[in-house]
Structure 1
Amino acid sequence: MTGVPASAGGAGGKPVPGGKLGAAAVNQASLWNIANILTMIRLLLVPGFVMLMLADGGYDPAWRSLAWAAFAIAMITDLFDGHLARTYNLVTDFGKIADPIADKAIMGAALICLSYLGDLPWWVTGVILGRELGITLLRFIVIRYGVIPASRGGKLKTLAQGIAVGMYVLALTGPLATLRFWVMAIAVVLTVGTGLDYVRQAVVLRRQGLAKERAEALEGS
């Protein structure tokens, strides 16, 4: 994810010329770096994925397989652009905005298509998308007090969602259809559970921030 903050040092943790550290590397990062290009590819894959998903009525196994390939590429590029951005300090303003949009766009498109085709209940799509949008909004609300870090549970949630949605996109039948149901059930549980944990963290962060502001106000009076 290109929007992930870089480390304090330059590439490899070494200072950059002029004595400035990671901030200089961030400022010098080109828009056309590999991490941003992968994010752009992911954004371009969204309309292509939707067309493949809905081609020929949305139930042709061949088209669904191609749609799965597009979805899988999008998920893989999400992993790589984040790794590249963190390793080589390829953080740009474009990446900070485009990366989370690309993440939610491909997942949202897949969920909405699946529900539209009747493969996935709308309430599942509503829970997952509602959680993602709600937590994103919550992060912005409390950002003045600090940043809510990504948790291990959140990463597991993302992995479970990707696997579950990918299995539904493939339109599996038989025992595999039963398996995908349980994988999606795990993804929904993780989605709700981690969402509630983020809310808890936001409440604690806000309380600590307000307490700090009151203490500073008293000291200054």
Structure 2
Amino acid sequence: AGVSVGPDGATHQAIEDMAIMRVIPNMVVIAPADVHEARKATLAAAKYDGPVYFRLGRSATPVVTTPETPFEIGKAQVMYLRDAAHEQTVGVVVTGSLLFNAIKAAEELNAAGIGASVLHMATIKPLDTEALLSFANEHKTLVTVEEHQITGGLGSAVAEYLSSVRPTKIARVGVKDRFGESGEPDELISHFGMDVPAIVAAAKEVIG
């Protein structure tokens, strides 16, 4: 899924799949971050009584979690915690293989004096609204990051929920209403504005 399918181009790049799957009743949507999380999600899905959609990529993915990192369907995890000394704060909400980029961006932001944390939502549906609300309450602004169209996926799910309980200024990082293109995975991630510099720039912009 995503543009990281690479040279096969737009015909093979699923960048609207989460939006499609989210609207199917009772469908669980999971985007694992790496090999360890994919294995645990597969085992959890085997025990789950209902349909589950997995979002997996083809290219090599940086390993961020460990075999011991907990996984539960419908539960999000804070994967990077901001420096509490920083006055300006931004929460980065991410799903799937871009977790690595989100953490690297948060490290850069903290080094620049902006308190950035990372919440990984491996499950897009059902959304962990309790964790999301708590995370939003701890940060002045949010950035969502996904290898998907910014419409209909994680960013939309986050905005839909928070708009009804805690209106929050949100910047969405992802594919912006474009078709996929051919290229190497890393080139495409950069081309479509989902690399570390793009996440850092979005965070700084949303903070204002």
Same fold (TM over 0.5): no
Higher RCO (CA 8 Å, separation ≥ 6 residues)? 2
Instruction: Tell me the TM-score normalised to structure 1 length.
Output: 0.26
**Which structure: greater strand fraction?**
2
Instruction: Tell me the TM-score normalised to structure 2 length.
Output: 0.27
Larger radius of gyration: 1
